[in-house]
């Protein structure tokens, strides 16, 4: 809707995990390097956690793009599966043929033979599971048993699990304590700092084709960071809505009033701002002064 207006080739703030927009902040670099090192080392279980919207799925997809032809990757975005369904999904992802109406025992044998075939061809198998905090306990246990498959030299498959912080409580369940002990590498993604948020905005705009001046004013950026708390998904939502508002007004820059409108239109962050229900110009001036005063504090204490 606003691409031509702002000189963009594509939408810069889509919430779809697009690896072409991957932002290599220090936090994400450490996360990706941890994953790559663990996988290249042949470790069995690797865990990545982070709050909702911090970019776990994007990191997962970036990891898969970094693995070369020596790896066979199975990606499971929907973890709410029974043990048998998980085995079937893994077999399909790995291209392993299955007999019709196979029992769980037959499925396991077929997977084992398929994994051994990959090992003979020196192909490492990596299983990436997203949103694992929603996976049933019995399915996690089946996954652990599957990870027991190994040769004298190495594991037949490596498992990378991504989940929200609630995953920690699930892994503390007594019935799967052995799984927790097998997690050799783990990392927790954090939100962006205020400075990183500005770099993040500029990075995505540049990838989308923007080559002009500054798109967001200091006051707009301060309000954006205040309400998103550096969560990439919320940053994308608010920035997109603010650009729409500026486009509707015929403006080529996002100011405080446009960002304020985006905040009020976003239920997950509006709260106090929306309850005010005041839209006068004087309020915008007061907000501008308030945010400008505290922008310096945010710079010194970004978290």
What is the domain partition of the chain in residue ranges? 26-188, 192-300
- This prediction has a pTM of 0.85
Return the pLDDT at 21.
Answer: 96
CATH 3.30.2350.10, applies to 26-188: no
185-212 residue pLDDT tens: 999 999 999 999 999 999 999 999 998 8
Return the pLDDT at 280.
Answer: 42
Return the pLDDT at 41.
Answer: 87
Low-confidence ranges of the chain (pLDDT < 70): 152, 270-303
Return the pLDDT at 144.
Answer: 84
Specify the fold of 192-300.
Helicase, Ruva Protein; domain 3 (1.10.8)
Report phi then psi at 183, rounded to 5: -75, 105
Return the pLDDT at 152.
Answer: 65
Return the pLDDT at 135.
Answer: 92
């Amino acid at each position: 809707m606003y691409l031509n207006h702002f000189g963009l080739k594509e939408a810069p703030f889509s919430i779809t995990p697009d690896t072409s927009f991957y932002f290599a902040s220090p936090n994400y670099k450490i996360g990706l390097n941890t994953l790559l090192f663990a996988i290249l080392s042949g470790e069995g279980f690797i865990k990545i956690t982070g709050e909702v919207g911090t970019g776990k799925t994007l990191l997962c997809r970036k990891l898969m793009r970094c693995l070369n032809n020596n790896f066979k990757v199975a990606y499971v975005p929907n973890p709410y599966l029974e043990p048998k369904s998980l085995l079937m999904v893994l077999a399909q992802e790995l291209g392993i043929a299955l007999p019709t109406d196979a029992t769980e025992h037959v499925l396991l044998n077929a997977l084992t033979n398929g994994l051994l075939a990959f090992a003979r061809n020196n192909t490492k198998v990596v299983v990436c599971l997203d949103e694992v905090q929603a996976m049933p306990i019995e399915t996690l246990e089946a996954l652990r048993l599957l990870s027991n498959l190994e040769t004298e030299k190495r594991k037949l498959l490596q498992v990378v699990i991504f989940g929200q912080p609630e995953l920690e409580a699930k892994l503390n369940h007594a019935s799967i304590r052995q799984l927790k002990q097998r997690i050799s590498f783990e990392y927790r993604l954090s939100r962006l700092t205020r400075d990183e948020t500005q770099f993040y905005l500029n990075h995505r705009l540049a990838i989308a084709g923007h080559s002009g001046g500054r798109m967001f004013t200091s006051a707009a950026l301060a309000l954006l960071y205040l309400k998103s708390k550096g969560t990439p998904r919320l940053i994308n939502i608010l920035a997109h809505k603010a650009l729409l508002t500026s486009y509707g007004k015929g403006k080529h820059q996002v100011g405080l009033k446009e960002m304020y409108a985006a905040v009020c239109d976003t239920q997950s962050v509006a709260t106090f701002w929306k309850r005010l229900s005041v839209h006068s110009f004087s309020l915008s001036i007061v907000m501008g002064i308030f945010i400008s005063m505290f922008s310096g504090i945010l710079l010194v204490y970004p978290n």
